[in-house]
Amino acid sequence: MAGKRSADIQLKDDDAGIHFGLFKNKQLSAVLSLFIKEDTAQFRKFATLQEEQGKGYGSMLLTYVMDYAKKQGVKKICCNARGNKVAFYQKFDLEASDGTFAKGGRIYVIMRKDL
């Protein structure tokens, strides 16, 4: 989030997403974008300000978005998790698939959960 220009993080299909933010004292502290296609959703661009990490804000936002997705009729949710964040997503019952890929020098693991 910090130090990034909006053009650097914008995706071509951003207008199709639902964008969520968590504010602390009027400061945007965590963000997450949700993309729903039929009964499946993918969350992307999930980030928390560095100085706010470890305080539970990302967890609160992810929990809220999963509940929101379920209320919208979503049956399955997925994400492309950075390899070093797999354990974080497992706390939310997302399961790592066999699918992995590299992008920008990082390894990503495709994770899924039935809602």
- The CATH class of 6-114 is alpha beta
pLDDT in tens, 79-113: 999 999 999 999 999 999 998 999 999 999 999 99
Q: What does the pLDDT read at residue 15?
A: 79
Q: Tell me the domain boundaries of the chain.
A: 6-114
Q: What does the pLDDT read at residue 13?
A: 73
User: What is the Rg, in whole angstroms, of the alpha carbon atoms belonging to the chain?
Assistant: 14
Q: What does the pLDDT read at residue 85?
A: 94
Indicate the pTM of the whole model.
0.85
Q: Do residues 52 and 24 lie in contact, with contact meaning Cβ atoms separated by under 8 Å?
A: yes
